[in-house]
Amino acid sequence: MNFSIPEETAEIIKGIIQFINKVVIPLEQEHHNLLFNERNYYLEDGRRHPKVEELRRKVRKESAKAGYYTMFGDPELGGEGFGPMTSLLINEAIGKHFPNSKLIEHVVIPSPFTNGLTPVLKGLRQELKDKYLEGIGSGDKQLCFGLTEPDAGSDVWGIRTKAVKEGNEYVINGTKQWISHAHYADYCMLFAVTNPELQAQRKGGITCFFVETSSPGFHVDSVIPVMGSLGGDATIITIDNLRVPEENIIGELDQGFGKAMNGINNGRLGMSGICIGSAQWALSKSVDYSKIRRTFGKALEEHQTIQNMLAEMAMDIYAARNMALHCAWKIENSKKTPTKEISMTKAYCTEMMGRVYDSAIQIHGGMGLSNELQLEEGYRRARLMRIPDGTSEIHRRTIARSLLKGDLSF
């Protein structure tokens, strides 16, 4: 294995950093009071302020023009088709250099399977691709991923939203919960049960539909404020007699489960990269602070306890980074998807970020608890990372099942 960053990827990272410094950071500085004061950032109902959405849309479109917004999209959809290794390294760089931006994550680069040129859209009929892909790829239009329900999170086979065929349409009824960006999305990839018998056997029976969110019967009921915030991206949706043309089925009837998982590995590697990069930022802050803060007549860096904490943080980051690099290499060089390794990487990297930020806050003492240094924001974010794209417990179950089936390779 060659652990050096490929030249093409290094150039992309350099270009993205320049793009962010030239386009995004000036916008954040100009609108600092709007973006970094939650009382201004969110409305009373928990939605982002329309001016914030306007800024995010502006960045998306600029990123699309520069080629970054679509670089992980499938070439069939008009993307560049870059893979997990590039996703990992680019997200690491973003996390390391811009850990607490409001206009970067899921904006400069969209979530690789729930927004933008997600591979799920490969299942669209050509006439729908012709109609919708340009707006999605340009960053002008947004998607949301309508899968999770109140009683179906980690176990997606438990969804209850039903789609019943009537003539050339499907009538859909149900409730979705924890759906990111639905209150801003133009379109939804909506999953519903079309064959209860197959669903009960966990052999199919779930279908994915492409839906315009402005359609009668599609209602975003409310926003779910998340840990320490006045609002959030997650929403609750009610689907009430929503009529969807048969031609809006994405892929094949009853085979939506595969669509739900298509592209998720890139997302997990990207999330791992963000965690690794952000943890490096927190370690760097801690090293710098240990040199200037004095207690009991000497600098923090001279205390063995602090030295041990810094060393533990570095060991954790090193282990996570090399695990993720090896996992990305395996994905790109193996005929079979390394499911066990992907789960190990996602679980370890998200948990690692929490441990590193916990130590960073402890090293900074009272200052670490303040909002000034942005460590507490990173700590909250680290806690959130352990749930999306599969909880740590679900990933441990996946790992154990692989081991018990005889996959003891590393």
Q: Classify residue 345 by burial, with Cβ atoms within 10 Å: 0-12, 13-18, 19+.
A: buried
Cα end-to-end distance, the chain, whole Å: 14
What's the pLDDT at 262?
A: 63
**Does domain 261-404 sit in CATH 1.20.140.10?**
yes
Structure tokens at 74: 């499938």
Q: Convert the pLDDT of each residue in 3-30 to its tens digit.
A: 888 899 999 999 999 999 999 999 999 9
Q: Is the pLDDT confidence value at 336 over 70? A: yes
pTM comes to: 0.93
String of b and e for 116-145 (b: at least 16 CB within 10 Å)? bbbbbbbbbeeebbeebbeebbebebbbbb
Q: Convert the pLDDT of each residue in 169-178 to its tens digit.
A: 999 999 999 9
Structure tokens at 281: 């930022």
CATH of 143-254 given 3.90.870.10, 1.20.200.10, 3.30.470.20, 2.40.110.10:
2.40.110.10
- List the one residue out of 269, 64, 6 whose CA is nearest residue 14: 6
Instruction: Please report, as a single letter, which amino acid is at residue 104.
Output: I
Residue with structure tokens 């980074």?
Answer: 321
Q: Convert the pLDDT of each residue in 179-210 to its tens digit.
A: 999 999 999 999 999 999 999 999 999 999 99
| Topology annotation, domain 7-137 | Butyryl-Coa Dehydrogenase, subunit A; domain 1 (1.10.540)
Average pLDDT, the chain: 94
Q: Convert the pLDDT of each residue in 259-315 to its tens digit.
A: 666 667 778 888 999 999 999 999 999 999 999 999 999 999 999 999 999 999 999
Per-domain residue ranges of the chain: 7-137, 143-254, 261-404
- List the one residue out of 281, 252, 263, 285 whose CA is nearest residue 367: 285
* Degrees, nearest 5: CA angle 115-376-26: 55
Per cent of the chain over pLDDT 90 is: 86
- H or E, element range at 173: strand 169-180
pLDDT, mean of residues 113-136: 94
Structure tokens at 68: 């970054």
Distance CA(303)–CA(296), nearest Å, equals 10
Q: Convert the pLDDT of each residue in 102-123 to its tens digit.
A: 999 889 999 877 899 999 999 9
Distance CA(40)–CA(79), nearest Å, equals 35
Specify the range with the lowest mean pLDDT, choosing from 197-211, 218-232, 248-262.
248-262
Distance CA(301)–CA(289), nearest Å, equals 9
Distance CA(396)–CA(50), nearest Å, equals 40
The DSSP bridge partners found for residue 145 are 189
What's the pLDDT at 266?
A: 72
Q: Classify residue 410 by burial, with Cβ atoms within 10 Å: 0-12, 13-18, 19+.
A: exposed
Contact indicator for 278, 360 with CB cutoff of 8 Å: no
Which is more confident, 151 or 355? 355
Structure tokens at 174: 């149900």
What's the pLDDT at 258?
A: 78
Q: Convert the pLDDT of each residue in 47-96 to its tens digit.
A: 999 999 999 999 999 999 999 999 999 999 999 999 889 999 999 999 99
Distance CA(15)–CA(12), nearest Å, equals 5
